[in-house]
Amino acid sequence: MDNDRKTILDWTESEVALKYGEKRHVRYKVYKSGNRVYQEIRDVDDSPIHVLELPQGMALEKSSYEVLLRYVLLDVVNA
């Protein structure tokens, strides 16, 4: 773990709506490392899914993180 890593949002569980009524339970956290911000997504069993670098200068709220979760699960992981 980087010494300069700072937690913005600690591990949060979420149920993400996917296509055709499917849902997936995941956990995510948001942290800052240096001047970059990341959203780390893991399965509820703690296996890694994806780490997304968030756009600089974008002030995000929890609802925005949830939208990004769906994007990652639908478009990035399943690509």
d(CA 1, CA 19): 35
Count of structural domains, the chain: 1
Per-residue b or e along 22-61, where b marks 16 or more CB atoms closer than 10 Å to that residue's CB? eebebbbbbbeeeeebbbebbeeeeeebeebebeeeeebe
**Amino acid at the residue 37:** V
**pLDDT for res 18:** 82
Q: Write out the two tokens for 35.
A: 């001047």
**pLDDT for res 46:** 94
For 19, the domain range is 5-76
**pLDDT for res 40:** 95
pTM: 0.82
Nearest Cα to 23, choosing from 13, 36, 31? 13
Q: Write out the two tokens for 63.
A: 């609802």
**pLDDT for res 57:** 66
Q: Mean pLDDT, 10 residues at a time, over the chain (79 residues)? A: 81 88 90 91 94 79 84 75
